[in-house]
Amino acid sequence: MTGTTTFDRARAVSVVDYAFINCDSYSKVEMEYCCAGNRGKYTGEVNEEGKPHGHGSFVREGEGETPMTYVGTWRHGERVGEGRYYTNGRLLGNVVWD
């Protein structure tokens, strides 16, 4: 049939910022992670290498430090695009990573 598109639900594809991401390649995890020298816990999507990739959050867990949470987009273990920082449930600010 002309003009008809068939989608296979087992191989769903999402469009994000004009790029295609194969949803089968990513899974959600909770793991210990070190981000910019800060140790903490990452919860979110990871790529096949086990690095944060997609949407996720990182909670800094340093002794004697104020708990801080980053929520945003990750690519190959690095923060990218828009994100937000929170502490004690309050928004500290928005950031945009190159």
pLDDT confidence of residue 19: 38
Whole-Å CA distances, 15 to 19, 31, 84, 92: 6, 27, 22, 30
How much is the pLDDT for 75? 96
Residue 54 to residues 32, 39, 90: CA-CA distances in angstroms?
Answer: 17, 20, 23
Q: Please count the other Cβ atoms lying within 10 Å of the Cβ belonging to residue 19.
A: 7
Spans of the chain, pLDDT less than 70: 1-26
Residue 40: per-residue pLDDT: 94
Cβ neighbours, 10 Å, residue 38:
15
- pTM beyond 0.95: the answer is no
- Cβ–Cβ < 8 Å for 67, 58: no
Enter the tokens of residue 68.
């801080």
Rounded percentage of the chain residues whose pLDDT exceeds 70 = 73
